[in-house]
């Protein structure tokens, strides 16, 4: 076996003043030119491992063990800052997660790249500008000639990450460490970025240590995978081994919960608990057709029985009754829900619950002293309708206008032109009283579980807040809050605690409890799982599915993640730059996307099965 490029032995990291280490005896090695993925959820210690290799550990952490790099004799953990500075960029360099904060906002990017070249003296001074241009061309920067003179804020997220990659690879290091390099990027951009990283790393024949929580990304990029859990390496092996025959329970659980195509016999996603029944990712096209058949039946939209305009319908009503028996019989144990009413095609044609027609929203640019700046069109003519009980997914990348649309639907913002009707309320012209009625019927679960709960309120008060506004008296409030907290699988002790005592997943449960405590008809979820770890994501999605069934909700689910939407929603609209580019039944859109952009979006979404099939 040739000498390894990177050799980490018994690395143990202990925070100052703490007894228990956060990283336990981590040993790993990386052969020259090898691409290794380091997988784990937040807090698993994967970033700490990478930081020790770079010598970037925070002062208050004490590292023991050995880190050896080819081309440097001695333990890197004991090396002084000067030695480390020499090694960085020459032998090992790093791409960080957030490209905006990793670049100096006041320096032109050409200068930032030149700086790295100059500091390490690899290129003769006179040739630096040409070399910068060459490097920018290598990462396929559009118009590299003028890009050199751009400031970071003038570039998009993907372009900034290209610049980061350029800087990292400027001195042809032998090892490149990427710490979640694509997590902050949109899916289509992520795809390009991953391809680019693989391309550049092979071009300069460097080794790659790729840190991520996303299994599908690793499958496409790496040869070998190391799985970390709570500061330990639990398993390592080739991509095929790990993804098709995981040995460790945690790996299997992680794999199961990140596979949004696979569901257990109740139609729910696998979680760490139920992972034993998981049979591994399905490779090949056969699986897709199975999946298409199922959601149509299983997630047949429940009818909201409280809506007055349906109870009086004689013809549709009787059809409803019949269909209840047939569908329930057909479903059997499929979905253990309390729905008592099912929709038939004839009801689908009746007035939809939400109707949005030709809505535009233009933000007027306001300069100093009222001078007009250019207007920004966030929504440019949106049309769609949602039937009661439907589950609509709204998919789009950042800047597509989906958040603006949500704000308008929930009455937090008003459209510039166009009509929005929710139930019998015309949102664009609603009085404040009508808006209050609207909000009682429509509740939101927000994206960031850390920002959406008031840090200075107890959970009981947070969940009870919508009830106070609705004028529910104190005893009933307490009873309903307790009931709701139980419904989202939190224990009653939680009520007395503050938000900071909970994890992201638990906070999102609290958010859901708050949204549902008033029994709304419509639940709007704004990227509710994008800030969560995969295993937690599966739990929250299952909970959401259960509750949507149980409370017969109409669900509007906003996400950039096509996989999640495909699992959860029966219908989908795809948005881009304030326009709807495509809409229809989820299966149809996936199986047969009509629009070029939708096709690109689907192709760019990393999927385990595809990555394995390709590799």
Partner 1 sequence: MNPTPTGAQSPSDHVDPVAHDATDTTASAKIRPGRSRRSGRRANASMIIGAGLVVLIVGLALISFVWTPYDPTTIDPAARLQSGSLTHPFGTDTFGRDTLTWVMVGARITLLVGVVAVGIALLIGTPIGIVSAFFAKQPWGMWLDAVIMRANDILLAFPALLLAIIFAAVYSPGTGPAMVAVGIAAIPGFARVARSGTLQVLGSEYVRAARASNRRIPAIAVVHVLPNIAGMVIVQASVAFAISVLAEAGLSFLGLGTQAPTPSWGRMLQESQQYLSTHPELALWPGVFIALAVLGFNLLGDGLRDRFDPKMEARGA
Query: Which residues of this chain interact with partner 1, rule CB under 8 A?
Result: 13, 15, 18-22, 24, 41-43, 45, 48, 58, 60-61, 229-232, 234, 248-250, 252-253, 271-273, 275, 410, 412, 436, 439-440, 442-444, 446-448, 450-457, 461, 465-466, 468-470, 500, 502-507, 511, 514-515, 518, 533, 535-536, 539
Under DSSP, the state recorded for 342 is B
Q: Give the Å distances, CA to CA, from 512 to 173, 343, 391, 508, 519.
A: 47, 25, 16, 6, 11
**Positive/negative CA dihedral, 506, 508, 509, 513:** positive
The Cα–Cα gap between 467 and 100 comes to 41
- Cα distance between residue 271 and residue 274, in whole Å: 5
User: Least distance to partner 1 from the beta carbon of 342, Å?
Assistant: 30
CB of 14 to partner 1, least distance (A): 9
SS3 of residue 39 by DSSP: strand
Q: With respect to partner 1, which residue has the nearer C-beta, 313 or 457?
A: 457
Smallest distance from the beta carbon of 594 to partner 1, in angstroms?
A: 34
Token pair in block for residue 309: 């305009």
Provide the minimum distance between the beta carbon of 477 and partner 1 in the complex, in angstroms, as a whole number.
Answer: 13
Rounded CA-CA distance 88/120 in Å is 10
Q: Which of 273, 227, 384, 477 is nearest to 395 (CA)?
A: 384
Q: How many Cβ atoms sit within 10 Å of the Cβ of residue 183?
A: 15
Q: State in angstroms the smallest separation of the CB of 395 from partner 1.
A: 21
Q: Which phi and psi angles does 235 have, rounded to 5°?
A: -165, 150
Q: How near is the Cβ of 38 to partner 1 at its closest, in Å?
A: 15
Q: At closest approach, how far in Å is the CB of 59 from partner 1? A: 10
* Shortest Cβ 537–partner 1 spacing (Å): 11
Task: Pick the closer one to partner 1 by CB: 51 or 607.
Answer: 51
Strands 417-422 and 425-426: antiparallel
CA angle (251 as vertex; 250, 257 as ends), nearest 5: 85
Neighbouring CB atoms inside 10 A of 308's CB total: 7
Nearest-approach distance from CB 368 to partner 1, in angstroms: 14
For residue 251, give the 3-state DSSP assignment: helix
Residues 6+ apart with CB under 8 A from 508: 445, 449, 528, 529, 532, 540
Residue among 316, 579, 532 at smallest CA distance from 324:
316
The encoded tokens of residue 529 equal 């799982």
Choice between 174 and 514, CB closer to partner 1: 514
C-beta closer to partner 1: residue 182 or 452: 452
Q: Which lies closer to partner 1 via its Cβ, residue 285 or residue 491?
A: 491
Q: How far apart are CB 42 and partner 1 at their closest, in Å?
A: 4
Structure tokens at 123: 């290129």
Closest CA to 5 of 94, 93, 91: 91
Return the C-alpha torsion angle 213, 217, 219, 223, nearest 10.
-90
């Amino acid at each position: 076996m040739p000498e390894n490029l990177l050799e980490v032995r018994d690395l143990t990291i202990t925070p100052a003043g703490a007894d228990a280490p956060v990283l336990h005896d981590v040993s790993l090695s990386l052969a020259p030119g090898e691409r290794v993925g380091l997988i784990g959820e937040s807090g698993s210690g994967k970033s700490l491992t990478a930081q020790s290799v770079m010598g970037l550990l925070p002062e208050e952490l004490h590292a023991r063990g050995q880190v050896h790099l080819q081309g440097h004799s001695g333990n890197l953990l004991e090396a002084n800052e000067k030695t480390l500075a020499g090694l960085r960029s020459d032998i090992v360099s790093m791409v960080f997660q957030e490209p905006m904060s990793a670049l100096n906002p006041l320096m032109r990017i050409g200068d930032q790249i030149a700086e790295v070249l100059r500091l390490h003296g690899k290129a003769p001074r006179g040739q630096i500008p040409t070399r910068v241009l060459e490097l920018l061309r290598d990462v396929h920067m559009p118009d590299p000639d003028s890009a050199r003179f751009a400031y970071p804020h003038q570039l998009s997220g993907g372009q900034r990450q290209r610049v980061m990659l350029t800087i990292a690879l400027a001195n042809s290091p032998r090892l490149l460490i990427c710490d979640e390099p694509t997590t902050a990027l949109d899916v289509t951009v992520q795809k390009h970025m991953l391809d680019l990283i693989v391309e550049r790393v092979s071009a300069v024949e460097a080794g790659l240590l790729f840190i991520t929580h996303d299994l599908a990304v690793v499958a496409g990029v790496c040869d070998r995978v190391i799985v970390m859990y709570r500061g330990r390496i639990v398993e390592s092996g080739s991509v095929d081994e790990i993804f098709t025959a995981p040995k460790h329970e945690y790996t299997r659980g992680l794999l199961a919960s990140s596979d949004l195509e696979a569901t257990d016999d109740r139609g729910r996603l696998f979680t760490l608990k139920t992972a034993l029944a998981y049979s591994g990712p399905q490779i090949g096209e056969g699986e897709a057709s199975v999946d298409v058949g199922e959601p149509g039946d299983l997630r047949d939209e429940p009818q909201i029985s409280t809506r007055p305009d349906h109870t009086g319908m004689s013809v549709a009503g009787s059809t409803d009754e019949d269909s209840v028996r047939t569908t329930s019989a057909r479903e059997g144990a499929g979905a253990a829900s309390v729905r008592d009413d099912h929709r038939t095609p004839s009801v689908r044609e009746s007035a939809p619950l939400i109707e949005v027609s030709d809505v535009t929203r233009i933000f007027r640019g306001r300069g100093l002293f009222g001078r007009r700046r250019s207007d920004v069109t966030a929504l440019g003519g949106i049309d769609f309708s949602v039937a009661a009980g439907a589950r609509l997914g709204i998919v789009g990348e950042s800047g597509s206008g989906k958040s603006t649309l949500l704000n308008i639907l929930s009455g937090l913002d008003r459209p510039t032109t166009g009509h929005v009707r929710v139930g019998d309320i015309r949102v664009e012209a609603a009085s404040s009283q009508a808006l209050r009625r609207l909000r009682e019927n429509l509740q939101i679960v927000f994206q960031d579980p850390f920002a959406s709960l008031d840090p200075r309120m107890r959970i009981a008060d947070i969940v009870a807040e919508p009830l106070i506004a609705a004028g529910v008296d104190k005893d009933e409030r307490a009873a309903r809050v307790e009931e709701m907290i139980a419904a989202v699988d939190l224990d009653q002790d939680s009520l007395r605690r503050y938000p900071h005592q909970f994890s992201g997943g638990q906070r999102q449960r609290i958010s859901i409890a708050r949204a549902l405590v008033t029994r709304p008809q419509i639940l709007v979820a704004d990227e509710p799982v994008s800030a969560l770890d995969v295993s937690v994501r599966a739990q929250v999605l299952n909970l959401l599915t259960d509750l949507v069934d149980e409370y017969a909700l109409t669900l509007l689910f906003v996400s950039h993640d096509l996989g999640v939407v495909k699992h959860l929603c029966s219908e989908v609209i795809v948005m881009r730059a304030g326009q709807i580019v495509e809409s229809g039944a989820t299966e149809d859109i996936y199986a047969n996307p009509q629009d070029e952009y939708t096709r690109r979006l689907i192709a760019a979404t990393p999927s385990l099965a595809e990555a394995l099939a390709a590799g």
